[in-house]
């Protein structure tokens, strides 16, 4: 039902209604602005301000994330001037460490668990060496009264998501990071949140976390062995070079050859991934060149297996026409045809050192140092005199 006001009262009453509605709108707008400014009021359109991160502090100072972290943690090898500069920048932008991550390192808040996140593409249980390493990690953790917790990221998920969930839930005291790469987002996240971790392979020269490394002479025993057999054209089947360990091995390969006065032929050094079939294809390409290598060093035994398959498909005798050296000495290496000459990289030793270093950095981030491992040559029947 409509209500009609007498004409003589219209202007006065209509004006009052308009003014009242305008006042209500102003009050609502003011309240909305207040709610957005103060998340504690429970507004429905709250936009939380992003918490400053360690990277933000690094950007303020012009230092790397690693140097910034070391300064904030009071590392002895950071000058007082740099520490003051970083501390001032952190205070200026309002940076505070992630308290949940900090609690992972506080006495009395231990979970007695360490974490390992499996990458969906590169760390599969079908990799024989990884299976042996995983067993070694489990055994070494148990010897130290710890559990090893495994997790895998969801399909198409950010590489750090599994780490973020574990940190938020405080499920582990620290992480083992395998197959670390340059600018690895997992490493950057763990550094930023001050979560204890150890990597297999050093991804930079600045430190900031402990690593278990292969020595710079890791491929020397294989190169020395092949040169002693008279080989000069020595090729290499490499894993992806962005991985820290692959970078270490390729440097060792070039350095070891140079010490014998041999320069590696660029066309003979091929990144072959991690899979046997990729190595077989890469080896076939090498064998089809005008001046193929007389010997190959593979960065793992599966790649060496692919090389053996390619040699057989080309009608070549191993080791009469082509010598092949693997890496890892997986259980199947001795049963290949012919039995594989390889570099023994004990998964038990690697697992022990990774767990030991991680537990050290959980107890005291300052005291943990890098560990270097040199493999030993296991001579079998896949290598022989140069043709």
Residues 6+ positions from 146 with CB-CB distance below 8 Å: 112, 113, 114, 173, 355, 359
| Tokens (6 digits) for 199 | 């990597």
First and final C-alpha spacing in the chain: 108
Alpha helices in the chain (DSSP H): 10-37, 54-61, 65-72, 80-93, 99-103, 128-143, 161-169, 185-192, 220-228, 244-258, 276-287, 301-313, 347-363
pLDDT in tens, 107-158: 456 888 999 998 755 445 667 888 899 999 999 999 999 999 998 887 777 8
pLDDT of residue 302: 93
**Domains of the chain, CATH where assigned:** 54-96 (1.10.260.40), 103-213+352-372 (3.40.50.2300), 220-346 (3.40.50.2300)
pLDDT at 35 over 90: no
Residue 270 dihedral angles phi and psi, to the nearest 5°? -125, 120
The residue length of the chain stands at 387
Average pLDDT, the chain: 81
Distance in angstroms (rounded) separating the CA atoms of residues 360 and 249: 27
pLDDT band, very low/low/confident/very high, at 24 (cuts 50, 70, 90): very low
pLDDT at 32 over 70: no
Collapsed DSSP state (helix, strand, coil) of residue 299: coil
**Where is average pLDDT lowest: 28-32, 90-94, 251-255, 338-342?**
28-32
| Tokens (6 digits) for 19 | 């003014």
Distance in angstroms (rounded) separating the CA atoms of residues 66 and 109: 26
pLDDT in tens, 234-286: 999 998 877 888 888 999 999 999 999 999 899 899 888 778 889 999 999 99
Distance in angstroms (rounded) separating the CA atoms of residues 386 and 321: 8
pLDDT band, very low/low/confident/very high, at 386 (cuts 50, 70, 90): very high
Q: What percentage of the chain exceeds 70 in pLDDT?
A: 78
Whether the Cβ atoms of residue 336 and residue 382 lie closer than 8 Å to each other = yes
Distance in angstroms (rounded) separating the CA atoms of residues 135 and 269: 32
Quick one: residue 374, left, alpha or beta (phi over 0 = left, psi -120 to 50 = alpha)? beta
DSSP lists the bridge partners of residue 376 as: 344
pLDDT of residue 98: 61
Please choose, from the candidates 273, 274, 296, the residue with its C-alpha nearest in 3D space to the C-alpha of residue 283: 296
pLDDT in tens, 341-381: 999 988 999 999 999 999 998 888 776 678 898 899 999 99
Collapsed DSSP state (helix, strand, coil) of residue 161: helix
pLDDT of residue 208: 65
Distance in angstroms (rounded) separating the CA atoms of residues 202 and 370: 8
pLDDT in tens, 325-342: 999 999 999 999 999 999
Residue 235 dihedral angles phi and psi, to the nearest 5°? -100, 175
Beta-strand pair 376-378/341-344: antiparallel
Measure Cα distances from 137 to 67, 68, 126, 351, 353 in Å. 30, 31, 17, 5, 9
**301-313 and 128-143 helices cross at what angle (nearest 10)?**
170
Distance in angstroms (rounded) separating the CA atoms of residues 220 and 89: 46
CA 139 to chain centre: 22
The residue with greater pLDDT, 367 or 160, is 160
The residue with greater pLDDT, 83 or 45, is 83
Burial environment of residue 199 by CB neighbours within 10 A (0 to 12, 13 to 18, 19 or more)? buried
pLDDT of residue 274: 79
Q: Mean of the pLDDT values across residues 155-178?
A: 87
pLDDT at 169 over 50: yes
pLDDT at 160 over 50: yes
Distance in angstroms (rounded) separating the CA atoms of residues 283 and 303: 9
Q: Mean of the pLDDT values across residues 6-25?
A: 42
């Amino acid at each position: 039902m409509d209500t009609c006001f007498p004409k003589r009262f219209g202007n006065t009453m209509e004006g009052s209604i308009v003014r009242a509605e305008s006042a209500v709108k102003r009050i609502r707008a003011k309240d909305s602005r207040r709610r957005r400014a103060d998340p504690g009021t429970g507004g429905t359109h709250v936009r939380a301000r992003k918490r400053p991160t360690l990277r933000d502090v690094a950007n303020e100072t012009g230092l790397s994330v690693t140097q910034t972290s070391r300064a904030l943690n009071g590392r002895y090898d950071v000058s007082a001037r740099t520490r003051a500069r970083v501390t001032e920048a952190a205070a200026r932008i309002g940076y505070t460490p992630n308290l949940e991550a900090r609690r992972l390192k506080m006495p009395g808040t231990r979970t007695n668990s360490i974490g390992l996140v499996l990458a969906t593409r590169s760390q599969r249980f079908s990799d024989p060496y990884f299976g042996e390493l995983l067993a070694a990690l489990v055994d070494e953790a148990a010897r130290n009264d710890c559990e090893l917790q495994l997790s895998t990221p969801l399909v198409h998920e950010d590489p750090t998501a599994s780490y973020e969930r574990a940190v938020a839930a405080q499920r582990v005291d620290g992480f083992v990071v395998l197959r670390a790469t340059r600018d690895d987002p997992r490493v950057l996240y763990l550094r930023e949140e001050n979560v204890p971790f150890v990597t297999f392979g050093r991804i930079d020269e600045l430190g900031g976390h402990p690593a278990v490394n292969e020595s710079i002479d890791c491929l020397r025993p294989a190169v020395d062995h092949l040169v002693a057999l008279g080989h000069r054209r020595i090729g290499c089947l490499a894993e992806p070079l962005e991985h820290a360990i692959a970078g270490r091995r390729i440097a060792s390969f070039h350095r070891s050859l140079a010490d014998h006065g041999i320069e590696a032929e660029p066309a003979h050094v091929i990144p072959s991934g991690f899979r046997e079939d990729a190595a077989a294809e890469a080896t076939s390409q090498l064998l089809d060149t005008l001046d193929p290598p007389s010997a190959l060093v593979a960065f793992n035994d599966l790649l060496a297996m692919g090389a053996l398959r390619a040699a057989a498909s080309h009608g070549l005798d191993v080791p009469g026409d082509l010598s092949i050296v693997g890496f890892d000495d997986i259980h199947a290496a001795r049963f290949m045809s012919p039995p594989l000459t390889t570099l023994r990289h004990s998964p038990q030793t690697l697992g022990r050192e990774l767990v030991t270093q991680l537990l050290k950095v959980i107890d005291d981030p300052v005291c943990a140092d890098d560990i270097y491992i040199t493999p030993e040559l296991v001579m079998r029947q896949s290598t022989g005199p140069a043709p």
